[in-house]
C-alpha cells in the first residue's frame, strides 16, 4: 500500500469510527501476534508446523490425546509469558469512549478482557479453563498442565476451546450475528477468515466493512483495506482522534 493511500485510509477509518452509531469489531489470531502469540496460517503460523486437523479437532482429542495434549500444553505455557499489546488497550479505550460497542473474537487467549474490554463475544471458547472430555467436570489449569486425569471419572482433560468438528456456543453466535447485522461499521482485524462459521459473519454486515490485516487477499468484500500490523494501525488511528 502506497503511503498516501495508507494515511488516507487511517483518516477514513477515524472518520467512519466517529460517524458510526454502532460499531462492532471482529478479531482473529493476527490480533495477538504482536503479543508474541503465533497465529495459525501466516508464514510462521502454528499450522505451518502442525496440521490443525491433527491437533485441534475432536478426533485428535479422542484418538491421539498425546498429540492433542502437547499442542495445547505448549500454547498455554507460551501464553503465560505474554500480555495484551497496545492495540488491545486502544480497543478497550474505544469501548469506554463509546466509539465501539462490542468485540467478537475467535481468539481463546482472553486478551480483550485482560486489556479492559467488557462486551466481548468469544466464539471459539477459552484456553484458560479446563474440563473433563468425558464427564465435563471442571478441572484446574494446573491439573491439565500436570497431565492429571479427571478426578471423578479418570477421563482426559481438555481446554474449553471449540475444536474443529465441534459446534460453536449457539447463544454467543446468535448474539454475534445480531451485532454484525445491526452495526453501521464492522472492523475485521487479524483474521484470514478461513474458518467456518465465523468466516461468514462479514458477509452478513449491512454497514461499512473495514479489514485491518498483514495480508490482504485480492478479491474481498471490504469497503476499506488497511494492510499492516494491527497494533500499529490502531495506534495511528487513535493518535488522530481528538478525545
Ligand atoms: C463447526 C480452536 C458445525 C481453539 C479453532 C469444509 C469446508 C468448510 C468448512 C468445513 C469443512 N470441513 C469442516 C468444516 C468446518 C470447520 C472449518 O471451518 N474448517 C475449515 C478450516 C475448512 N469449522 C468447524 O469445525 C467449526 N465448527 O463448523 O460446527 C459442525 C459440527 C460438527 C461437524 C461438522 C460441523 C469450529 C471452528 C472452530 C475451530 N477451532 N481453534 C484454538 O485452539 O485456538 S479454529 C482456529 O482458527 C482458531 O480459533 C483461530 O482463531 C481460528 C481462525 O483463524 P484466524 O484467527 O483467522 O487465524 P489465521 O492464522 O488463520 O489468520 C491470521 C491472519 O492475521 C492472517 O491473515 C495473518 O496475515 C494476519 N496477521 C498476523 N499477524 C498480524 C496479522 N494482521 C495484522 N496484524 C498482525 N500483527
pLDDT digits 0-9 by tens, 129-156: 999 999 999 999 999 999 999 999 999 9
Query: Of 85, 112, 124, 128, which is the active-site residue?
Result: 124
Which residue minimizes the CA distance to atom 8 of ligand 1?
196
Per-residue pLDDT, averaged over 100-120, amounts to 98
- Out of 196, 201, 220, 234, mutate this one to test ligand 1's pocket (max ligand atoms within 8 Å of CB): namely 196
Share of the chain above pLDDT 90, in %: 87
Range from 29-43, 64-78, 91-105, 181-195 carrying the lowest mean pLDDT: 29-43
Report the atom number in ligand 1 closest to the C-alpha of 29.
Answer: 56
124 is catalytic: yes
Per-residue pLDDT, averaged over 6-18, amounts to 91
Share of the chain above pLDDT 70, in %: 94
Q: What is the pLDDT of residue 45?
A: 64
pLDDT at 12 over 80: yes
> How many whole angstroms from 202 Cα to the centroid of ligand 1?
14
Burial of 215 (0-12, 13-18, 19+ CB in 10 A): exposed
pLDDT at 90 over 70: yes
Q: What is the pLDDT of residue 242?
A: 86
pLDDT at 52 over 80: no
Exposure b/e, 87-110, CB count within 10 A at least 16 = b:
bbbbbbbbbeeebbbbbbbbbbbb
Estimate to the nearest angstrom the gap between the alpha carbon of 76 and the chain centroid: 16
Confidence of residue 40 (pLDDT cuts 50, 70, 90): confident
DSSP secondary structure string, 129-190?
A: EEEETTT--EE-HHHHHTT---TTT-PPEEEEE--BTS---HHHHHHHHHHHHH-SEEEEES
Q: What is the pLDDT of residue 99?
A: 98
> How many whole angstroms from 181 Cα to the centroid of ligand 1?
21
Confidence of residue 6 (pLDDT cuts 50, 70, 90): low
> How many whole angstroms from 189 Cα to the centroid of ligand 1?
14
Q: Give yes or no for residue 44 CB within 6 A of ligand 1.
A: no
Q: What is the pLDDT of residue 3?
A: 54
Q: Give yes or no for residue 155 CB within 6 A of ligand 1.
A: no
Q: Return d(Cα 13, Cα 234) in angstroms, integer.
A: 10
Name 120's bridge partners: 103
> How many whole angstroms from 238 Cα to the centroid of ligand 1?
29
Amino acid at each position: 500500500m502506497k503511503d498516501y493511500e495508507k494515511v488516507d485510509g487511517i483518516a477514513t477509518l477515524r472518520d467512519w469510527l466517529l460517524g458510526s452509531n454502532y460499531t462492532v469489531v471482529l478479531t482473529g489470531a493476527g490480533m495477538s501476534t504482536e503479543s508474541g502469540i503465533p497465529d495459525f496460517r501466516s508464514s510462521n503460523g502454528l499450522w505451518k508446523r502442525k496440521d490443525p486437523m491433527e491437533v485441534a479437532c475432536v478426533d485428535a482429542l479422542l484418538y491421539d490425546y498425546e498429540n492433542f495434549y502437547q499442542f495445547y500444553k505448549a500454547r498455554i505455557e507460551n501464553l503465560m509469558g505474554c500480555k495484551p499489546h497496545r492495540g488491545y488497550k486502544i480497543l478497550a479505550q474505544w469501548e469506554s469512549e463509546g466509539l465501539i460497542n462490542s468485540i467478537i473474537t475467535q481468539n481463546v487467549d482472553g486478551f480483550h478482557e485482560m486489556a479492559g474490554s467488557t462486551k466481548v463475544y468469544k466464539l471459539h471458547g477459552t484456553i484458560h479453563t479446563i474440563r473433563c472430555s468425558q464427564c465435563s467436570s471442571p478441572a484446574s489449569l494446573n491439573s491439565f498442565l500436570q497431565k492429571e486425569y479427571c478426578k471423578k471419572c479418570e477421563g482426559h482433560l481438555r481446554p474449553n476451546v471449540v475444536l474443529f468438528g465441534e459446534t460453536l456456543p449457539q447463544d454467543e453466535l446468535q448474539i454475534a450475528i445480531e451485532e454484525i447485522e445491526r452495526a453501521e461499521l464492522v472492523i475485521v482485524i487479524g483474521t484470514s477468515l478461513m474458518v467456518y462459521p465465523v468466516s461468514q459473519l462479514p458477509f452478513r454486515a449491512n454497514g461499512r466493512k473495514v479489514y485491518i490485516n498483514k495480508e490482504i487477499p485480492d478479491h474481498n468484500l471490504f469497503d476499506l483495506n488497511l494492510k499492516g500490523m494491527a497494533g500499529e494501525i490502531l495506534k495511528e488511528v487513535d493518535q488522530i482522534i481528538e478525545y
